Structure 1
Amino acid sequence: METCKVAVVGGGLAGLYTAQALNASGVDVVLLEARERLGGRILTADETGLPAEDGFDLGPSWYWPLMQPAMATLVGELGLAAFGQNSEGAVVFERMSREKPQRYLPAALDQQSMRLAGGTAAAICALAGKLPAERVRLGTMVTAMDLAENGVRLTLKTGDESAEVLHAELVVAALPPRLLEATLTFAPPQEPATAARWRNTPTWMAPHAKFFAIYDKPFWRTDGLSGTAQSMVGPLVEIHDATTASGKAALFGFLGVGADQRATLGEQVLKQACLAQLARLFGPEALEPRATLLKDWAADSLTATAADRAGGGHPVPGNPRWVSGPWESRLLLAASETSESEPGYLAGAVIAAKRAVAEIRSKMDRE
């Protein structure tokens, strides 16, 4: 049986931060990720939809340095380049289907949204580079955790459907609580109140879908538009300039169509409706993109559960005690949703990961 001091389940921002920080402290750590890539809900893709080092953020894209110093500090520590979300030009507002969209010049922003050059996956790549490759297991899903006398036995399922067992003294679950509750079995079971809390915690990004239209040039800017738009008509309800730091031009928007309706309509119909809306808002050039991308996170089984299809609110800060009963000494949660501040944001993932690392170091100091 393979063994380690700490097993980190989930290779998104929180899991990677946790694993590399523990590794830097000399802790024997193994990172387990069900996907064949790292990043989790962070996915930077090229115009074909494949992961890329310089592309478009199909998941989270922004952070706010003054309001989220944890993320700003991480960007600085990793030596990453950042740039401001384009806000120069007018904002378009679409109130009714029978009214022409209106343009407004917004007031100056006090807190500008920032993006990473190369995409948010730049942070993932930088953190992954701090881990020994042999301690990262991709395509490895944890299906069960059993408490043992001196740790936790994790049942792993790999791509060939074979089952393996890993023994860890401590486990950090860096995946959303709702997904953890839905996809893993525990022996003994989690206490009912704990399981209910996990199940009732909304998963950030899980209900949403993002549409991208990629162009040869940002034509809206020459027309005096920022690329920002809000619509009460749809199908996109919020639209922004997604042009990369390297100059790849794009617009993106969040769909206001629910997950079940998206599945019924199908990707092609949705894309056509989105392009028609962009043409209403930004002009006929919007009908001729180089490529389009649609990422429906509700259809991603490694992000969303059936409960996420109905939507729901943003995760909110709460009691920091996410594990109770016999599991409390062996299992820690570190997903962004579990953060005591900025839950459901990139900064929340960093804060939650730092908390888990501090708890583990404290446990080891007491041993």
Structure 2
Amino acid sequence: MKACKVAVVGGGLAGLYAARALHASGIDTMLVEARGRLGGRILTADASGMPAEDGFDLGPSWYWPEMQPAMAALVAELGLRSFGQNSEGAVVFERMSREKPQRYLPAALDQQSMRLASGTAAAIRALSGQLPAERILLDTKVTAMDLAEDGVRLTVQTREGSAESLHAEIVVAALPPRLLEAAVTFTPPQDPATAARWRDTPTWMAPHAKFFAIYDKPFWRVNGLSGTAQSMVGPLVEIHDATTASGKAALFGFLGVGADQRAALGEEVLKQACLAQLARLFGPDALAPGATLLKDWAADSLTSTAADRSGGGHPIPGSPRWVSGPWEARLLLAGSETSETEPGYLAGAVIAAKRAVAEIRSKMDRE
């Protein structure tokens, strides 16, 4: 049986931040990730959809330095380059199908949204590079946690399908509470009120899908458009310029079609409908992308549960007490949704991870 002082479950931004901070404090830490890659909902991909060091963010892509100082501080600490989301040019608004889309010049932005050069996964690479490779377990899915007097026994399923055990004195669950409740069996069970809170907390991005059209140049900018559009017609409801810092041109949008309807229509039908809409909004050049990408997070079983398919709002900040009863001394939640501020956002992941690390350090100091 493998053993460690702290097991961090989930290798997204929160899990990596926590694991790196604990390791830097000299605390024996193991990071356990169900996917074959790190990043969780952070996924920077190339035109073929494969993870890339310079690509398009199929998950979260923005942060706002003034409103989210925790994320701004992390970017500075890691020495990452950032750039502003393109907003130069007119915005397009499509109110109804029988009306021609309207263009207007937006008012000045109060807060500039920023993106990381090379994509959000740059933060994942920087954090993971500060952890020993042997302390990261990929393709390892936690299926059960059993409480013992001296800690927690985690049952994990490996890529080969075998069941193994990992013992930890403390567990940091750095994944969405709803996913944790659905995917892991606890012995003894979580308090019913606690389990209900986990189930009722929406997982940010889980109901959504993002479509990308990749071009050889940002033709919309030449035509005086910012690449930003809003539509009440669809299938895309919100569209933005996704051109990378290195100049790879793209538009992306969030689909306003529900998860079940997306599954019924199929990827190819959705892609063609999205391209037709981009042509209405930005002109016929939109019909000839070099590649298209569609990432449906609701179809990702390591992000979404059945409860997420019906949609849901943004997670709402609440009590920081996410665990109760006998588990309270051994289990901490650190997914972005559990943050007291900016839940669901990149900044929320950093804040939640910092909170968990501070609690563990305090506990270790008392022992």
Residue number in structure 1 paired with 2:128: 128
Task: Supply the distance in 1 between the matched residues of 2:263 and 2:174 (Cα, whole angstroms).
Answer: 28
Tell me, in whole angstroms, the C-alpha distance in 2 between the residues paired with 1:182 and 1:351.
Answer: 24
Measure how far apart 1:110 and its partner are: 1.4
**Structure 1: stretches of 5+ with no match in the other structure:** none
Aligned residue for 1:296?
A: 296
Give the AA of the match of 1:242: A
- Report matched runs for 1:237-276 at 5 Å: 237-276=237-276
Q: What is the alpha-carbon distance in structure 2 between the residues aligned to residue 163 and residue 329 of structure 1?
A: 26
Correspondence 1:98-137 to 2 at 5 A? 98-137=98-137
Partner amino acid, structure 2, of 1:165: S
Q: Which runs of 5+ in 2 are unaligned?
A: none
Per-residue deviation, residues 155-199 of structure 1 (Å, max 9, x unmatched): 010011000000000000000000000000000000000000000
Shift of 1:83: 0.2
Q: Percent identity?
A: 86
RMSD: 0.3
Which residue does 1:26 correspond to in 2? 26
Paired amino acid for 1:131: L
Aligned counterparts of 1:322 and 1:53: Cα–Cα separation in 2: 35
Q: CA deviation at 1:149?
A: 1.3
CA distance in 1, matches of 2:149, 2:103: 65
TM-score by length of 1: 1.00
Secondary structure (helix, strand or coil) at the match of 1:106 reads coil
TM-score by length of 2: 1.00
Q: In 2, Cα distance between the equivalents of 1:31 and 1:366?
A: 24
Using the alignment, how far apart are the partners of 1:141 and 1:109 within structure 2? 43
CA distance in 2 between counterparts of 1:100 and 1:2 reads 63
**TM-aligned CA deviation for residue 18 of structure 1:** 0.2
Aligned to 1:218: 218
Aligned to 1:165: 165
Q: Deviations over 1:14-36 (max 9, x none)?
A: 00000000000000000000000
Q: Does 1:317 align with 2:317?
A: yes
Residue type at the aligned position of 1:301: S
CA apart distance, 1:40: 0.1
Residue type at the aligned position of 1:358? A
Shift of 1:138: 0.3
- For 1:333 and 1:107, how far apart are their aligned partners in 2? 40
Number of aligned residue pairs: 367
In the TM superposition, 1:1-367 aligns within 5 A as: 1-367=1-367
Letter in 1 for 2:225: L
CA offset digits 1:82-121 (Å, max 9, x no partner)? 0000000000000000000000000111101000000000
Secondary structure at the aligned position of 1:179 is classed as: helix
| SS of residue matched to 1:318 | coil
**CA distance in 1: counterparts of 2:2 and 2:39, whole angstroms:** 25
Q: What secondary structure sits across from 2:157 in the alignment?
A: strand
Q: What is the alpha-carbon distance in structure 2 between the residues aligned to residue 321 and residue 148 of structure 1? A: 21
Instruction: Report SS of the residue matched to 2:155.
Output: strand
By how many angstroms is 1:2 displaced? 1.0
Cα deviations by residue, 1:329-363 (Å, 9 ceiling, x for unpaired): 00000000000000010000000000000000000
